[in-house]
């Protein structure tokens, strides 16, 4: 064969687009080797299950007991929680030691939210600069531990005293305070940013009279007050340009702030709404009857129901595109598969209701706070990996079974496996 023909052959092979076969491709064609592969997967899965511990950390203070945890936020370095008495207590997530106490509210802390400073710096720059002039920053709050995350974050808090406060964490002082009209209790809060719009960030707060108030973060002025709920607004969430409010009146209201404040009314059931979480076209509503309703925002219809809690669903958090977390009056924290609606795991460490869940933005660590005065850190990512291993193993077992069915012993004329009689004898008997 000439060099030219060799070159053409090589070009045809290179241009065929076929990937070189991997060793696994050959394993999947050999039943015995494939079965051994499945056994190895099964052994690894069993080992992972044996070493799985649902909570990696439980935080409580024996010297100075925690208060019941009503609201909770976490960074990679700190835990912030609010209770019935007003102060916001801060602890190191590494050592468990108290780093600071933020004082300013005089009633229970209904909600907390950590926001990256870069998202709101333009509208808070003057307030931050004024505070910087007053005193020197103090990020070394726990011995010699440098809390770098404080430089990057702003904390917002809402309270039944009728105020929402904005905290500069390196100073531990409030730089903004938004007051509800007539000092109505603020029952929930959400900081809303519109990166694709010219509109400035704002803060939304729900109240006991069924109203939702929007404040301008820069001027402290009230931008708008939405009314319509017949009872207490229990929860708020914001996704893209839409603000969602859930109420004890069993309705969820959706306001599109980029479409002339168009309001859509949703009612997944006749049970009070305790929590909401929105992600793209999906809305999840946790109710007093223990159900979580999944609504498709393209049709505004309920498309599925998550069943597992026995009491009201107090908090919902989106973990990632495929997983949802919920906590309840029944004291459990539950991990759900959004696609299959399957309850993947119920974390049952709290001894009382668990009103709050927090997921650190940087490393996806999951914490929950309970009325039992404990904060627990849960092993969510390891559980998801175990579930993925289980599903992968089941898929391989099905393929192995199909492979066995497809294989026919040579020279049997299609006889059944295990039939060792000579072919001629069987044919003679059939002719008799």
pLDDT, position 359? 96
Query: E-assigned strands of 374-420?
Result: 375-378
Per-residue pLDDT tens digits of the chain, which is 432 residues long: 444 445 554 454 444 455 555 556 678 888 888 888 888 999 998 998 888 887 666 776 555 678 999 999 999 999 999 999 999 999 988 888 888 999 999 999 999 999 998 888 777 776 766 666 666 555 555 444 568 888 889 999 999 999 999 999 988 899 999 999 888 999 999 999 876 667 788 999 999 999 999 999 988 899 999 998 999 999 999 998 899 999 999 999 999 888 767 789 999 999 999 999 999 999 999 999 999 999 999 999 999 999 999 999 999 999 999 999 999 999 999 999 999 999 999 999 999 999 999 999 888 999 999 999 999 999 999 999 999 999 999 999 898 888 888 886 644 444 444 443 444 444 444 443
The closest alpha carbon to 193, from 131, 237, 250, 241, belongs to 241
Q: Are the CB atoms for 82 and 108 separated by under 8 Å? A: yes
Give backbone dihedrals phi and psi of 223, rounded to 5 degrees, phi first. -80, -40
Q: How many CB atoms lie within 10 A of CB 16?
A: 8
pTM above 0.75?
A: yes
Instruction: Measure the CA–CA gap between 233 and 369, rounded to whole angstroms.
Output: 21
Q: Is the dihedral of CA 81, 83, 88, 90 positive or negative?
A: negative
Residue 418 has a pLDDT of 43
Is 205 in contact with 189 (CB distance < 8 Å)? yes
pLDDT for the residue numbered 142:
47
| Cα gap 281→292, rounded to integer Å | 16
The burial of 152, by beta-carbon neighbours within 10 Å (0-12 exposed, 13-18 middle, 19 or more buried), is given as middle
The encoded tokens of residue 58 equal: 């439980």
pLDDT of residue 145: 54
Q: Count how many Cα atoms sit within 13 Å of the Cα of residue 104 in the half-sphere of its side chain.
A: 21
- Report the interhelical angle of 380-406 vs 31-51 (nearest 10°): 160
Taking every pair of Cα atoms in the chain, the longest distance, rounded to a whole number of angstroms, is 109
Cα 176 from Cα 191, distance rounded (Å): 13
pLDDT in tens, 356-376: 999 998 889 999 999 999 999
Which residues fall within 8 angstroms of residue 278, CB to CB, at 6 or more apart?
A: 237, 238, 239, 242, 244, 284, 297
């Amino acid at each position: 064969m000439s060099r030219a023909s060799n070159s053409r052959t090589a070009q045809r092979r290179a241009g065929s687009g076929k990937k070189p076969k991997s060793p696994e491709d050959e394993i999947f064609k050999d039943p015995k080797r494939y079965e051994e592969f499945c056994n190895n997967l099964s052994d690894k899965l069993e080992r992972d299950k044996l070493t799985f511990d649902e909570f990696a950390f439980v935080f409580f203070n024996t010297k100075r007991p925690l208060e019941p945890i009503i609201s909770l936020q976490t960074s990679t370095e700190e835990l912030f929680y609010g209770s019935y008495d007003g102060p916001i207590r801060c602890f190191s997530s590494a050592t468990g030691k108290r780093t600071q106490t933020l004082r300013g509210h005089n009633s229970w802390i209904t909600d907390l939210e950590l926001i990256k400073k870069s998202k709101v710096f333009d509208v808070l720059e003057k307030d931050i600069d004024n505070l910087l002039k007053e005193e020197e920053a103090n990020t070394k709050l726990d011995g010699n531990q440098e809390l770098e995350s404080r430089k990057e974050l702003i904390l917002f808090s809402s309270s039944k005293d009728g105020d929402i406060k904005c905290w500069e964490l390196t100073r531990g002082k409030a730089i903004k305070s938004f007051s509800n009209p007539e000092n109505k209790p603020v029952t929930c809060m959400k900081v809303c940013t519109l990166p694709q719009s010219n509109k400035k960030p704002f803060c939304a707060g729900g109240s006991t009279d069924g109203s939702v108030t929007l404040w301008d973060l820069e001027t402290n002025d009230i931008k708008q007050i939405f009314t319509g709920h017949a009872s207490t607004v229990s929860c708020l969430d914001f996704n893209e340009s839409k603000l969602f409010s859930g109420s004890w009146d069993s309705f969820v209201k959706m306001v599109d702030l980029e479409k002339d404040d168009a309001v859509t009314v949703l009612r997944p059931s006749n049970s009070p709404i305790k929590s909401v979480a929105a992600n793209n076209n999906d809305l999840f509503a946790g109710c007093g009857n223990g159900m979580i309703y999944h609504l498709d925002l393209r049709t505004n219809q309920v498309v599925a129901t998550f069943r597992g809690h026995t009491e009201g669903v107090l908090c919902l958090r989106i973990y990632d595109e495929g997983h949802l977390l919920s906590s309840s009056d029944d004291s459990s924290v539950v991990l759900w598969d959004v696609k299959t609606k399957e309850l993947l795991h119920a974390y049952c460490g709290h001894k009382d209701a668990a009103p709050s869940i927090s997921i650190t933005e940087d490393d996806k660590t999951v914490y929950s706070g309970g009325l039992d005065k404990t904060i627990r850190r849960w092993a969510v990512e390891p559980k998801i990996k175990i579930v993925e291993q289980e599903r992968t193993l089941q898929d391989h077992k099905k393929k192995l079974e199909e492979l066995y069915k497809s294989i026919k012993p040579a020279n049997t004329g299609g006889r059944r496996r295990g039939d060792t009689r000579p072919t001629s004898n069987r044919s003679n008997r059939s002719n008799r």
